Structure 1
Amino acid sequence: MTKILGVIGGMGPAATVAFLERVQALTPAQGDADHIRVVMDMNPQVPDRNTWPGEAEVVLGRMAARLAAAGAQVIAMPCNTAHAQAAGIRAVCEAEGLSFIDMIAATADAAVAAHDLNDGVQRIGVLATPGGERLYQAGLASRGVEAVLLDGADREAFMALVYGVKRGDVGEAARAEMLRLAGVLADAGAQALIAGCTEVPLLLRAEDAPVRLTDSAEVLARACVGACL
């Protein structure tokens, strides 16, 4: 029996909509009834995960509880940074007997597995917010891989792009700048990349990246389909 997917969304709205499109596209279906039922809380008013983490954690836990009450059996949150504030979500899932898909763990596993098949990649660049960087540094280190990160003006440029996407800026200049930042990581020794922020794939396609790119939103969508079907 197909399970009901609950999505903690709105961080940001465009990234959440793109994630849902991925879930739909990845679901093997012959008609409407073959697709996954989704209940979603699209809440753009979640406090900023970078500047108000404690407040964000409280709100995220409440969102998970509402999704559980609405019948969700599998919970997913297409926001990498917010996984640092996922304790409240995990508590709800444990109490209600629900599954929570860890986006960071799933993406780190996928990135390492993809590259182990080739030349044993040991350094993976991460395009993420500071909070997301910390999560992926730990996740990759536990798998024996070093994270390569942006710094200084390049990190500031990345954050400007992320907030630009939230304002609707996905134009050519923004796309060119994200591609440049991917190149900075590759030039710094990254043998592969992780799109560790759900805004990244709205500006950078995997086929355009200078090295193999693992898209965290794609990984999460694929995991949701597997868990619900």
Structure 2
Amino acid sequence: MMTNKMIGIVGGVGSYAGIDLIKKVYDLTEASSDQDHLPVSMLSVPHKIIDRTKYLLGETEINPGIAISEIIASLIASGASIIGIPCNTAHAKPILSLIEKSIPESCVLVNLIEEVGKYIAEKHPEITRVGVLGTTGTILVKV
């Protein structure tokens, strides 16, 4: 078990997405006591993150990746070394590419889209088409 690795979660990018991710981490962790669970830290400051769809649609020039990168820096300063962003729209190239530039080599940024693709290919190779739910911005930029 990776007891020295803290998972950092960017909250505030979907009303319950961060909470849901923490629940999934705990539900999927084999633990017989509180101490056996993985350390997780979530920082949810939605008022600091510009609407991702508005950015992708050109309704604002402020890239939400800036605020997300700042949140990630705070999570890393708190000890996180594995970062998750539970938001499809935040994985759109114009946003994610900015975020990726801010991640130190000692830290892993889990790419939601890539990991789902790997999981489906590995566990369900018979599936050739997948439906994706997403915001208008996510669909238009074809994350």
TM-score range, shorter chain: 0.7 to 0.9
Using the TM superposition, give the Cα deviation of residue 96 of structure 1 relative to its aligned residue in structure 2, in angstroms: 5.2
- Shift in Å at residue 78 of structure 1? 0.8
Aligned-pair identity in percent equals: 33
CA contact under 8 A between 2:68 and 2:99: conserved in structure 1? yes
SS of aligned partner of 2:54: coil
Q: Which residue of 1 aligns with 2:42?
A: 40
Whether contact under 8 Å (1:6, 1:74) holds in the other structure is: yes
Question: Aligned residue for 2:82?
Answer: 74
CA distance in 2 between counterparts of 1:132 and 1:82 reads 8
- TM-score norm. by structure 2 comes to 0.81
Q: Which amino acid aligns with 1:9?
A: G
Structure 1 runs not aligned, ≥5 long: 136-229
The number of aligned residues is: 131
Query: In the alignment, what sits opposite 2:109?
Result: 100
Is 1:86 the counterpart of 2:96? The answer is yes
The one of 50, 55, 58 equivalent to 1:52 is 55
Query: Which structure would you say has the larger RCO, counting Cα contacts within 8 Å and 6 or more residues apart?
Result: 2
Which portions of structure 1, spanning 4 or more consecutive aligned residues, are displaced by more than 6 angstroms? none
| Secondary structure of residue in 1 paired with 2:76 | helix
Q: Following the alignment from structure 2 to structure 1, what is the Cα–Cα distance between the partners of residues 28 and 112?
A: 17
Which residue is equivalent to 2:59? none
- State the distance in 1 between where 2:105 and 2:124 align: 36
- Paired with 1:12 and 1:122, the residues of 2 have a C-alpha distance of 28
What letter is aligned with 1:112? A
Contact residue 13 and residue 42 of structure 1 kept, 8 A: no
Deviations 1:58-105 (A, max 9, x none): 111111111111111111111111012123432232x35101110000
